């Protein structure tokens, strides 16, 4: 039995069956490359779901983690640690916000942001203003409360009843949002570009309009930048594309270079609502993950990766748009920077992903029709050329098979 088969058997017997896994087991990563158990090399255009933005095992991240692991791994949040304090300062300097809180994941960052919103609303807006409006097709995480926030009924159904406090509106429809605002509304929470929902960007005028509506009605605007943050869309944070500032952003994926670290950042007047005892975490903001995150932020800057994401992303999107003109299977191309989606006109996403994997390229998918590209921000135009070529071939193969 080869190694992959062995792992498949172990998984089947001992791990709950919640993941539809790709038929590959990776053992090594470096930059934009991955190697599987048989030593086969792949080009990674998924980056572990938009996580390994600076590339796999970046030497500066590895060194930061190694040095920290040898000094101190954990002490809990009863004590001060330098990496956490420095990271908090750095996040404030990079964003609209003043204060942050560290969590272990995107879902947890969102949970914390919602708790902060509730407390802020109780203190400043009124006891009854606990409701948060989110969008259909949104994705905010897998905890019960974030499942309630996630506007995807098919994901929610098996787990009802869900915690109350969230209502959903269609994205990019300002009048629908306006109509949904009631005496109970305390905040609006949106992804600047919906990720897990299938790469659906907020339109420029829409998000600006949402900000105005929030100001008019005294609502907080929470942006879930768990996927769009840290250069993914060609800006440090995606809200920068819209010329607006949110009241809270939530972050995770790209922050830790692969280590689990999430955060939410708020303006001072909102952050003030939290007092000692209101929120906490055992592991969050530990010295190892914060050291990794500091290294990531340093690399984004020193290697100009955000500018690279903008330029290479634009090049990639142009290539995909060109493909849309010649390949009837391609129905739509969406996204910004290195967060791009291709909607197929048929349910062929998984076969395309598999054939790309056979060509040694890792890409992602959402549902049955949407291909998703979230490469590390270090990729260049010739990587993109290679992917476009393989994708063109793959789409032709798949077309040939369905005819
Ligand atoms: C991935 C994601 C989450 C959930 O993050 P986890 O770390 O898996 O909990 C939340 N919001 C958005 C926008 C995401 O892309």
Encode pLDDT of 289-302 as tens digits.
999 999 999 999 99
pTM over 0.95: yes
CB-ligand 1 contact for 111 (6 Å cutoff): no
The residue to mutate among 47, 107, 238, having the most atoms of ligand 1 within 8 angstroms of its beta carbon, is 107
Tally of helices (H runs) and strands (E runs) in the chain: 14, 17
Ligand 1 atom at shortest distance from the alpha carbon of 110 = 10
- Residue 67 predicted with pLDDT over 90: yes
The residue to mutate among 252, 281, 284, 341, having the most atoms of ligand 1 within 8 angstroms of its beta carbon, is 252
In angstroms, what CA-CA distances link 297 with 176, 234, 276, 316? 38, 14, 29, 24
Residue 97 alpha carbon to ligand 1 centre in Å: 20
Burial class (CB in 10 A: 0-12, 13-18, 19+), 90: middle
- Residue 177 predicted with pLDDT over 80: yes
Residue 234 DSSP class = S
Give me the active site residues, please. Answer: 139, 224, 253
Q: SS3 for 248?
A: strand
The residue to mutate among 49, 171, 195, having the most atoms of ligand 1 within 8 angstroms of its beta carbon, is 195
Averaged pLDDT, 11-38? 97
pLDDT of residue 142: 97
Q: Evaluate the omega torsion of the peptide bond into residue 161 and state whether it is cis, within 30 degrees of 0.
A: yes
Distance CA 102, CA 119 (A): 18
Average model confidence (pLDDT) across the chain: 97
202-218 exposure pattern, b = at least 16 Cβ within 10 A, e = fewer: beeebbebbbebbeeee
Averaged pLDDT, 49-77? 98
Distance CA 356, CA 350 (A): 10
Nearest Cα to Cα of residue 257 among 74, 36, 68, 25: 68
Averaged pLDDT, 131-135? 98
Averaged pLDDT, 49-53? 97
CB-ligand 1 contact for 106 (6 Å cutoff): yes
pLDDT of residue 127: 86
Distance CA 301, CA 297 (A): 6
pLDDT of residue 265: 98
- Residue 136 predicted with pLDDT over 90: yes
Q: In terms of DSSP H, where are the helices of 54-105?
A: 59-71, 82-94
Q: At what angle do helices 287-302 and 305-326 cross, to 10 degrees?
A: 70
- Residue 403 predicted with pLDDT over 80: no
Ligand 1 atom at shortest distance from the alpha carbon of 195 = 15
DSSP per-residue codes, 5-64: HHHHHHHHHHS-S-----S--EEEEEBTEEEETT--EEEESSHHHHT-TT-BT-HHHHHH
CB-ligand 1 contact for 291 (6 Å cutoff): no
Query: What's phi and psi for 342, nearest 5 deg?
Result: -120, 120
109 near 316, Cβ under 8 Å? Answer: no
Q: Whose CA is nearest to atom 5 of ligand 1?
A: 106
Q: Whose CA is nearest to atom 15 of ligand 1?
A: 227
Averaged pLDDT, 174-191? 98
pLDDT band (50, 70, 90) for residue 178: very high
Per-residue pLDDT of 328-346, as tens digits, reads 999 999 999 999 999 999 9
117 near 220, Cβ under 8 Å? Answer: yes
CB-ligand 1 contact for 139 (6 Å cutoff): yes
Residue 136, both tokens: 């259909």
How many other C-beta atoms are found inside a 10 Å radius of the C-beta of residue 302?
9
Strands (E), 232-315: 248-251, 262-266
End-to-end CA distance of the chain: 36
pLDDT of residue 1: 72
- Residue 213 predicted with pLDDT over 70: yes
Residue 242 alpha carbon to ligand 1 centre in Å: 22
pLDDT of residue 30: 98
Per-residue pLDDT of 371-384, as tens digits, reads 999 999 999 999 99
The four Cα atoms 117, 119, 125, 126 give a dihedral, to 10 degrees, of 130
């Amino acid at each position: 039995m080869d190694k992959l088969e062995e792992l498949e058997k172990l998984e089947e017997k001992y791990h709950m069956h919640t993941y539809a896994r790709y038929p590959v087991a990776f053992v090594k990563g470096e930059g934009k490359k991955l190697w599987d158990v048989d030593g086969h090399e792949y080009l990674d255009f998924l980056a572990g779901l938009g996580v390994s933005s600076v590339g796999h095992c970046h030497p500066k991240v590895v060194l930061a983690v190694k040095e920290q692991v040898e000094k101190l791994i954990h002490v809990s949040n009863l004590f001060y640690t330098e990496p956490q304090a420095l990271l908090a300062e750095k996040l404030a300097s990079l964003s609209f916000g003043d204060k942050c809180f560290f969590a272990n994941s995107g879902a947890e960052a969102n949970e914390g942001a919602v708790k902060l919103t509730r407390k802020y609303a109780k203190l400043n807006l009124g006891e009854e203003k606990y409701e948060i409006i989110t969008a259909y097709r949104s994705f905010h995480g897998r905890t019960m409360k974030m499942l309630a926030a996630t506007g995807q009924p098919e994901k929610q159904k098996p787990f009802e009843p869900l915690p109350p406090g969230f209502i959903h509106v269609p994205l990019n429809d300002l009048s629908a949002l306006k109509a949904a605002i009631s005496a109970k509304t305390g905040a609006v929470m949106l992804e600047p570009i919906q990720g897990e929902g299938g790469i659906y960007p907020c339109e420029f005028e829409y998000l600006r309009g949402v900000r105005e509506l929030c100001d008019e009605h005294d609502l907080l605007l929470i942006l879930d930048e768990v996927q769009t943050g840290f250069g993914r869309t060609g800006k440090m944070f995606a809200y920068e594309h819209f010329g607006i500032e949110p009241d809270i952003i939530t972050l995770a994926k790209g922050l830790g270079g692969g280590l689990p670290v999430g955060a939410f950042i708020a303006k001072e007047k909102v952050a003030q609502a939290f007092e000692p005892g209101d929120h906490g975490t055992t592991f969050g903001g530990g010295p190892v993950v914060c050291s990794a995150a500091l290294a990531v932020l340093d690399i984004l800057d020193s290697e100009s990766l955000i500018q690279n994401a903008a330029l290479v992303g634009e090049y990639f999107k142009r290539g995909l748009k060109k493909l849309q003109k010649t390949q009837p299977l391609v129905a739509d191309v969406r996204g910004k920077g290195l967060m791009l989606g291709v909607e197929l006109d048929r349910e062929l996403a998984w076969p395309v992903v598999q054939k790309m994997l056979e060509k040694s390229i890792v890409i992602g998918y959402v549902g049955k029709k949407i291909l998703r590209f979230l490469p590390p921000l270090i990729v260049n135009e010739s990587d993109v050329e290679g992917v476009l070529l393989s994708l063109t071939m793959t789409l032709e193969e798949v077309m040939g098979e369905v005819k």
